[in-house]
Amino acid sequence: MREMRRKFISGAIAAVAMIAAGSAQAATVSFADAMSLMARDCGKDVQTYCKGVPLANNGVGQCLMQNQAKVSPVCIQTLAAVRASLAARIEAQDSVLKVCRGDAARRCQGVVTSDAHTLDCLLKAADHVSKKCNAAITNAGWR
Q: How many CA atoms lie within 13 A of 38 on its CB side?
A: 23
Q: Is 27 in the site for other proteins (CB under 8 A)?
A: no
Q: Is 31 in the site for other proteins (CB under 8 A)?
A: yes
Task: Report whether 53 contacts 60 (CB < 8 A).
Answer: yes
DSSP secondary structure letters along 45-107: HHHHH-TT--SGGGHHHHHHHHTTTTS-HHHHHHHHHHHHHHHHHHHHHHHHHHHTHHHHHHH
Tell me the window of 7-15, 104-112, 116-124, 125-133 that interacts with other proteins (CB under 8 A). Answer: 116-124
Q: Is 4 in the site for other proteins (CB under 8 A)?
A: no
Compute and round to an integer the Cα radius of gyration of the chain: 20
Residue 23 contacts other proteins per CB under 8 A:
no
Contact between 39 and other proteins per CB under 8 A: yes
Q: Enumerate residues 74-103 that contact other proteins by CB under 8 A.
A: 90, 93
Chain contacts with other proteins (rule: CB under 8 A):
30-43, 46-47, 51-59, 61, 90, 93, 114-116, 118-119, 141-142
